[in-house]
């Protein structure tokens, strides 16, 4: 029979080992990226939209894809544009990694609704600058809306004519 003190020490050792292993596995989940400064643009008048950009790790591999994805109303007008972060192997239906909970509700800093820009960028709900901190990925995403033009389509809905985002992505922690 193992004395109680030995059991306690074994339990403490097991907990410490599990904690150490989880730290190691978390380190592999958070690849260090090359800091990125870029722009994503949408224009209803242009076929030359820049809607996605790769984010590379320090060893040159693409670890994420950052893209601007449209959401259409029933009349096929683009009324919402969503900034989406996914791994290269993720399917288009995969969750947006900019929402670390996977349960977003309501208007978020990475969602751009046409109706929100009827009085210009500065008077939009989030204003000109938005920040998304992704502690689970070790990333910080800073978004500046440099241009947003919309036009009414029906009722109180507005479609995007143009949206320009300046985006910075970097490692947020050690």
Please report the pLDDT score of residue 28 as a whole number: 46
As beta bridge partners, residue 68 has: 83
Chain segment 30-42, per-residue pLDDT in tens: 789 999 999 999 9
- Residue 65 — pLDDT band, cuts 50, 70, 90? very high
Q: Region 4-20: what's the mean pLDDT?
A: 62
As beta bridge partners, residue 129 has: 144
Instruction: Indicate whether 27 pLDDT > 60.
Output: no
Per-domain residue ranges of the chain: 1-30, 32-171
Please report the pLDDT score of residue 73 as a whole number: 86
Collect all residues with Cβ–Cβ distance below 8 Å to 34 and sequence separation of at least 6. 55, 56, 57, 58
Chain segment 107-162, per-residue pLDDT in tens: 899 999 999 999 999 999 999 999 999 988 999 999 999 999 999 998 789 999 99
């Amino acid at each position: 029979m193992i004395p109680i003190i030995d059991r306690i020490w074994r339990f403490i050792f097991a907990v410490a080992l599990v904690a150490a292993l989880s730290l190691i596995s978390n380190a592999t989940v958070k690849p260090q990226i090359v800091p990125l400064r870029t722009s994503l643009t949408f224009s209803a008048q242009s076929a030359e939209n820049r809607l996605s950009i790769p984010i590379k790790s320090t060893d040159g591999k693409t670890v994420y894809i950052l893209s601007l994805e449209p959401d259409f109303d029933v009349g096929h007008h683009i009324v919402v544009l969503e900034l989406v972060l996914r791994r290269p192997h993720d399917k288009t239906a995969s969750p947006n990694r900019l929402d670390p909970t996977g349960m977003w509700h309501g208007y978020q800093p990475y969602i751009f609704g046409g109706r929100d820009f009827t009085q210009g960028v500065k008077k939009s709900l989030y204003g000109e600058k938005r920040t998304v901190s992704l502690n689970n990925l070790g990333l910080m995403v800073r978004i500046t809306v440099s241009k947003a033009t919309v036009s009414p389509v029906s009722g109180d809905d507005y479609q995007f004519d143009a949206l320009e985002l300046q985006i910075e992505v970097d490692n947020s922690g050690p």
